[in-house]
C-alpha cells in the first residue's frame, strides 16, 4: 500500500477544479500555479483521470479541464484509484495467496485495514471537501497570493 504525492496531487487538483471550475474549464497552468504542482506532472495525472472519465478536456485557447460529473458524485477513493495508487494493505492484492497459495498469518488484519481505509475515502465527496471550513480558508489564502503575484507581474511590466 502506498499513498504519496501522486494521489495527494490528484485529489488536490480535482478539488481545485471543484472550487474554481464553475465558470468554464480550468487550465492545468492555473492549477499548477495555485497548488504548486509541476505542470508536466499534472498532465500525466490528468491523462489518467481522463481515461477514467473523471474529467473531460477542452483543447485550444481558453480550454482546460472540467469535472465530468457533479461534485456530489465524485469521491476521493476513485480519484486515488484512477492514478494507480492502491489503497490495499495486503501483500497479495486481496487474493489471499500470500503464503504459497494460501493466506498468511496476518492476511485478514491487512484486509480489514484496507476495508477501513477504503470506507473512509469512499465517503468523502468533492462536494463535502468544498464545504469544509479549512478548505475554504486555504482557498482564500491561495486566491490572495495569486492576486499579489499578478500585481507584481503587472508592476514589472510597467
Partner DNA sequence: TTTATACCCGACGCTTTTAGTAGGATTTAA
Partner DNA sequence: TTAAATCCTACTAAAAGCGTCGGGTATAAA
Q: What residues make contact with a copy of itself under the rule CB under 8 A?
A: 1-5, 8, 11-12, 15-16, 35-36, 76, 89, 91, 99-100, 102-110, 112-113, 116-117, 120-121, 124, 129, 132, 134-135, 138-139, 141-142
Q: Does 97 bind DNA (CB under 7 A)?
A: no
Quick one: what does residue 84 bind among a copy of itself, DNA, none, with the CB cut-off 5 to 8 Å set by partner type?
DNA
* Helical axes 5-20 vs 28-35, angle rounded to 10°: 110
CB of 106 to a copy of itself, least distance (A): 5
Helix (H) / strand (E) element for 70: namely: none
Chain residues 32-71 in contact with DNA, contact rule CB under 7 A: 37-41, 43-44, 46-47, 50, 57-65
Question: What residues pair up with 64 in beta bridges, in sequence order?
Answer: 58
> Least distance (Å) from DNA to the CB of residue 153?
13
The three grid cell numbers given for residue 31, joined into one nine-digit string = 492549477
Rg, the chain, Cα only: 19
Long-range contacts of 149-153 (CB under 8 A, 24+ apart): 149/33
**β-strand partners of 75:** 125
Question: Does position 6 bind DNA by CB under 7 A?
Answer: yes
In contact, 48 and 82? CB cutoff 8 Å? yes
Q: Which of 71, 116, 41 is nearest to 31 (CA)?
A: 41
Q: Which is nearer to a copy of itself, 14 or 64 (CB)?
A: 14
Q: Give the chain's end-to-end CA distance (angstroms, integer).
A: 52
Q: Identify which of residues 99 and 148 has a Cβ nearer to a copy of itself in the complex.
A: 99
Judged by CB, which is closer to DNA: 104, or 125? 104
Residues in contact with DNA by CB under 7 A are 2, 4-6, 26-29, 37-41, 43-44, 46-47, 50, 57-65, 84-85
Amino acid at each position: 500500500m502506498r499513498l504519496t504525492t501522486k494521489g495527494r496531487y490528484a485529489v488536490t487538483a480535482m478539488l481545485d477544479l471543484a472550487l474554481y471550475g464553475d465558470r468554464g474549464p480550468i487550465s492545468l497552468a492555473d492549477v499548477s500555479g495555485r497548488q504548486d504542482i509541476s505542470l508536466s506532472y499534472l498532465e500525466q495525472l490528468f491523462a489518467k483521470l481522463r481515461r477514467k472519465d473523471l474529467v473531460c478536456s477542452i483543447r485550444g485557447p481558453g480550454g482546460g479541464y472540467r469535472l465530468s460529473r457533479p461534485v456530489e458524485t465524485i469521491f476521493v477513493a476513485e480519484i486515488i484509484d484512477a492514478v494507480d495508487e492502491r489503497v490495499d494493505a495486503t501483500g497479495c492484492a486481496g487474493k489471499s495467496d500470500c503464503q504459497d497459495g494460501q493466506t498468511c498469518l496476518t492476511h485478514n488484519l491487512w484486509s480489514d485495514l484496507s476495508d477501513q481505509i477504503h470506507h473512509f475515502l469512499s465517503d468523502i465527496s468533492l462536494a463535502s471537501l468544498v464545504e469544509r471550513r479549512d478548505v475554504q480558508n486555504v482557498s482564500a489564502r491561495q486566491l490572495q497570493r495569486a492576486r499579489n503575484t499578478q500585481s507584481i507581474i503587472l508592476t514589472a511590466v510597467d
